[in-house]
Structures are given as C-alpha cells and as structure tokens.
Amino acid sequence: MGQDVEELRYDIERSRDDLGNTLDAIGDRISPGAVMTRQRNRVVGGWQSVRDRVMGTFSDTRGSASDAASSVADHVGPDAMRRQAQGSPLAAGLVAFGVGVVAAAVFPPTAAEEQLATKVMDKAEPLKERVMEAGREVAGDLKEQAVEAGKDLKASTGDAAGQVADRAKDAADDVRQQQSSTGPVV
C-alpha cells in the first residue's frame, strides 16, 4: 500500500506540472504581446516569401539575370515569360518593357493622348525658341573666339617660322665660316 501512495503522489505531482505547463502555454497563447509577435512573424514571413519568389535569393540571382535575358528571346509566351521572370527582377523589368513597347506599337494613341501631346508641344514651343536663340548666341560667341584664336595661331606660327628660318640661316653661315677657316676637306 505504501507503494500506491507514493505512486499517487508522483502522479499528482506530474499532473500538476503538466497542468502548470498547459496553463503557461494557454497564457502565452492568449497574451496580447505573444499574439502580436506571432502575427508580425507571419506577415514578415509572407512578405519574405513573396519577395524571394519575385526577386529570388542571393544564390538564385547570381547568374539568372543574364540567363533569363538571353532565354527570353528564345521563348515567347505568357507562361515562358512568367517562368523566366520569377526570381529575377531585371528579367521581369525587361519583359514588362518589351510588353509595353509591343502594346505601344500595336495600339494607336487615344484622343486624350493626342490632345495631351498637342498641349505639351504648344507649351514647349516658346521654350524651343528660347533654347534655339541661346544656342545661336553661344555659337556666335564661340565663332568670334575661334576667329581670334585662329588669328593668334597664324601670327605665332608666322613668327615661329621666321625664327626657324633665321636660325637655319645663322647655322648655315656658321658652317660656311668653319669650312673656310679650316680649309678644304680631303
């Protein structure tokens, strides 16, 4: 009978421990701080998963941009483009740009787009005239400076040519004098 009492005490103590652990788990489960932490971790994990699917992980992106760009040209179609773009933001951008170019070429501009383009051109016309006038002024100033620089260059080259000619003449005279003083060469 002593054994039974000891076993009962042991079972009761174990049940208390289990009950205490269960109550702690329940308290942790319904604690506002713990709930917020779990929700935050769930949201962060979801965003990371989406980011990894779109952007890829570091190991995925090492060579995938060039591989994807070269194989997009080989495989055309929505499914192929989606597979190539997954894990590579550069490829996704290239695909989106290509789709935009094709759409712009296929669909004519709308009336609203044409009106907007006309308004922009009307407002840009005065600016165009101002820029052209400023360009003419700059070109005129540069032309004057180029003419002056050309005149200066011509004058300095003329002076340099005269100096070279004078030095050559002096050197020739020196050679003649040395020859006449030393006598004929045998």
Cα–Cα distance, 34 to 25 (Å, whole number): 11
pTM above 0.75, yes or no: no
State the residue for tokens 């006449």. Answer: 180
pLDDT reported for residue 77: 53
* Binned average pLDDT, 10 residues per bin, the chain of 186 residues: 78 88 81 79 81 65 51 52 61 75 74 80 78 79 80 82 84 84 64
The confidence score (pLDDT) of residue 85 equals 52
DSSP 8-state symbol, 87: T
Amino acid 73: pLDDT: 46
For residue 72, the model assigns a pLDDT of 43
DSSP 160: H
Nearest C-alpha neighbor of 90 from the set 113, 132, 62, 114: 62
CA distance 105 to 181: 91
Identity of the amino acid at 157: T
Distance CA 161, CA 173 (A): 18
3-state helix vs strand vs coil in the chain, percent to 5: 90, 0, 10
DSSP per position, 119-179: HHHHHHHHHHHHHHHHHHHHHHHHHHHHHHHHHHHHHHHHHHHHHHHHHHHHHHHHHHHHH
